[in-house]
Amino acid sequence: MLGRRAAKGKLAHGLILRLGRRKAKERAAQVYLREETEADQREVEALYDLCFAPGREALSSYRLREGVGRVRELCLVAHDDLGILGGAIRFWPVTVAGQTVLLLGPIAVHPTRQGEGLGGYLMIDSLDRARAKGWERVLLVGDAPYYQRFGFRKLNGVQMPPPTNPDRVLGLALKDGAWTGIHGPVQRTDRG
């Protein structure tokens, strides 16, 4: 159940304090996280279609994912007590300067569940799992004001394929100093 898992780690603690313990407990009782399976794929893709603009597959991050397998143990879906999909998060391997990096995204929450902290739960739980599996660094393309609350910072010197705005290229070190000295273009990995 999400509540026990999300309560672990420094990131979860701050989120729970902001939401209030009682509200966080109520929400955790209503949402369950599990690894995404092949059976979930159509429903998850439909959620992404609902939440993102048409043509999302043309973005540079999608070109990095083509022909590369997801990091399955970190790709999560969130369901309520009725089994209705409320959100999903995916991760893909990429390389920067010869180092393996997790590319986070997409992450989406169904419009009827937005504002409940579900996106935060997906982030916290998946990042805790990544850290536990020994991953050292995470990269995403997104809005810094939102992702800063999870520890993401602008990456100077790390370039996503064009036409990505460099101010939106953000990174998180899951191990102290993991981004130190890592510069260069983000490239597809051979892992697939």
Q: What is the 3-state secondary structure (H, E, C) of the chain?
A: CHHHHHCCCHHHHHHHHHHCHHHHHHHHHHEEEEECCHHHHHHHHHHHHHHCCCCHHHCHHHHHHCCCCCCHHHCEEEEECCCCEEEEEEEEEEEECCEEEEEEEEEEECHHHCCCCHHHHHHHHHHHHHHHCCCCEEEEECCHHHHHHHCCEECCCEECCCCCCHHHEEEEECCCCCCCCCCEEEEECCCC
CATH class given for the domain over 2-188 = alpha beta
Asked if residue 23 has pLDDT above 80, the reply is no
**CB-based contact 171:186 (threshold 8 Å):** no
Asked if residue 35 has pLDDT above 60, the reply is yes
Band of pLDDT at residue 42, cut at 50, 70 and 90: very high
Asked if residue 26 has pLDDT above 60, the reply is no
Band of pLDDT at residue 176, cut at 50, 70 and 90: very high
Average pLDDT over residues 155-163: 93
Which pair of structure tokens corresponds to residue 188? 């597809």
pTM summary value: 0.82
Asked if residue 115 has pLDDT above 50, the reply is yes
Return the number of other C-beta atoms located less than 10 Å from residue 51's C-beta.
17
Percent of the chain with pLDDT strictly greater than 90: 68
The pLDDT of residue 2 is: 38
Asked if residue 38 has pLDDT above 80, the reply is yes
Average pLDDT over residues 81-108: 95
The pLDDT of residue 108 is: 95
Q: Which residues are CB-neighbours of 13 under 8 A, at least 6 positions away?
A: 7
The pLDDT of residue 106 is: 94
Q: Where are the domains of the chain?
A: 2-188
The pLDDT of residue 57 is: 65
The pLDDT of residue 127 is: 98
The pLDDT of residue 28 is: 47
Q: Which amino acid is at 188?
A: R
Asked if residue 3 has pLDDT above 60, the reply is no
Which residue in this structure is represented by tokens 């313990």?
A: 21
78-82, 150-154, 188-192, range with greatest mean pLDDT? 150-154
The pLDDT of residue 157 is: 95
Asked if residue 145 has pLDDT above 90, the reply is yes
Q: Which residues are CB-neighbours of 73 under 8 A, at least 6 positions away?
A: 35, 129, 133
What integer best gives the mean pLDDT of the chain?
A: 85
